[in-house]
Structure 1
Amino acid sequence: MREERRYPALSAISTVLKVVAVIVAVVGVVSAIGSFFIGLPALTALGTFIATLIGTAISALVLWAIAELILVVIDIEHNTFLTSQQPLARMEERRPPEERKAA
């Protein structure tokens, strides 16, 4: 990974999204467990538990995936930048020394 980032705000947003994903997961699991203690009939409590866990898992995974997608886009930009610089460096090496000084 690079030492310095060109897009620190996007990196920060990615980190915040990951933190939010973990918070959503924890709150969702606690809420799902709490469905057994709010006085619902057993079958209804079980259904609420399962639905809450599924919804929580989907929400947390989507948030985490968006955070990772942001990092992938940053890495693609970095790799594209490095790739675009290589041909320029090679062209500069192939130029005769007298032309390099003039430029």
Structure 2
Amino acid sequence: MTTCDSPIPGRLCALQLRLHRVRARYKAPYGAPPWCAEPAAGRTAAARTYGTRRLRERVPRLSAAVPTHPHWAAVGRGRVVDARTELTHVRTAGAEAA
């Protein structure tokens, strides 16, 4: 599932990866479509709005869950910034493994 080669708990790595994925899915419709793109057949505007709303609700919850995880209380004060930076790079390791 996730590849954490560090003392970061697997649950926290999974939360971070889920946050990256949800944020990417939320941002995807706002990017410029390719020149040959046609509107998706069969999806109504209501369905697209519902999916976007669900993602928009999940992003803040996941964004709050990562920094408030109990693991950070066990990390020494001088090491917190390095550990959080290390956690952001888990996305790369997880993407390479998938």
Q: TM class by shorter-chain length?
A: 0.3 to 0.5
Instruction: Give the structure-2-normalised TM-score.
Output: 0.43
User: Structure with the greater relative contact order (CA < 8 A, sep ≥ 6): 1 or 2?
Assistant: 2
Instruction: Give the structure-1-normalised TM-score.
Output: 0.42
Which is greater in Rg? Answer: 1
